[in-house]
Amino acid sequence: MANPIIAPSILAADFTRLDREIAAVPDADWIHVDVMDGHFVPNLSFGAGITAAVNRVTDKPLDVHLMIENPEKWVDDHISAGADCIIFHVEAVDGVAGAVALADSLREKGVRSGFSLRPGTPIEPYLPELRHFDEVLVMSVEPGFGGQSFMPDQLDKVRSLRREIDAQGLDTLIEIDGGISAETIEQAAAAGCDAYVAGSAVYGAADPNTAVTELRRLAAGAR
């Protein structure tokens, strides 16, 4: 199995010094960019201007998590801004068919496609369509805020995804987001995750890069 992918979330970084905050995690694999619109989630963060700003200061892949209504209206802006993977929420599109259509259009535009789902949204309807997606982002908190507690019951979704992805012979990556720390990452790894978003556990640490390498070491040891 490939090395665990660690994706620090800039939501937890100091926005007045984003360039230095990104330079502080040289061992990160991806940079996770949390876009919130104040409608889909009860919080506002930033838009494609920040995706572009991040892209100017790093060569790392940008994993853009759209927690917004009408994601199809905004994907082009984030693609132009330098997104490598665009993750939209299935609750913000028109059912399974809407999710597949948006994912296919993302791939046609040359970026990786991903979907995410709220803790209360079942994964089962999406399992037969996984070939359309390069990533599935399992939320292990209610989307909207960093610093919340990890929800271990969401690992059932990770296990279902792992079984289906392997049975279907796909290379879709399973990523988990919310409450990932040195205390929780091993359970997520044992359930079958490939990639881990970490906000407070990285940017709340005395040394963010040591937090990244320690999370990767723990995840690798637990699979």
Which of 13-21, 37-45, 65-73, 165-173 is the region at the interface with Zn ion (rule: CB under 5 A)? 65-73
- What residue number has its CB nearest to ligand DX5? 199
Please tell me whether residue 200 binds ligand DX5 under the rule CB under 6 A: yes
Element (H, E) at 50: helix 48-57
Return the residues of window 163-202 that contact Zn ion according to CB under 5 A: 177
Binding mask 77-116 toward Zn ion (x if CB under 5 A, else -) reads: ----------------------------------------
- Does 179 bind ligand DX5 (CB under 6 A)? Our answer is yes
Our CB check for ligand DX5 shows the closer of 68 and 141 to be 141
Which residues contact residue 184 at a Cβ distance below 8 angstroms, ignoring those fewer than 6 apart?
A: 140, 150, 152
Those residues with Cβ within 8 angstroms of residue 213's Cβ, 6 or more apart along the chain or in another chain: 27
Q: From the list 10, 40, 65, 86, which residue makes contact with Zn ion (rule: CB under 5 A)?
A: 65
- Numbers of helices and strands, H then E, in the chain: 8, 8
Binding partner at 82 among Zn ion, ligand DX5, none, C-beta below 5 to 8 Å by kind: none
The one-letter amino acid at 135:
E
Q: Nearest to residue 1, comparing CAs of 190, 160, 183, 140?
A: 190
Cα pseudo-dihedral 174, 191, 222, 216, rounded to 10:
20
Q: Is 180 in the site for ligand DX5 (CB under 6 A)?
A: yes
Select from 81, 116, 123, 125 the least CA-distant residue to 195.
116
Judged by the rule CB under 6 A, the positions of this chain that interact with ligand DX5 are 9, 11-12, 32, 34, 65, 141, 143-148, 177-180, 197-201
Binding region for Zn ion (CB under 5 A): 34, 65, 177
Which active-site residues does the annotation give? 34, 177
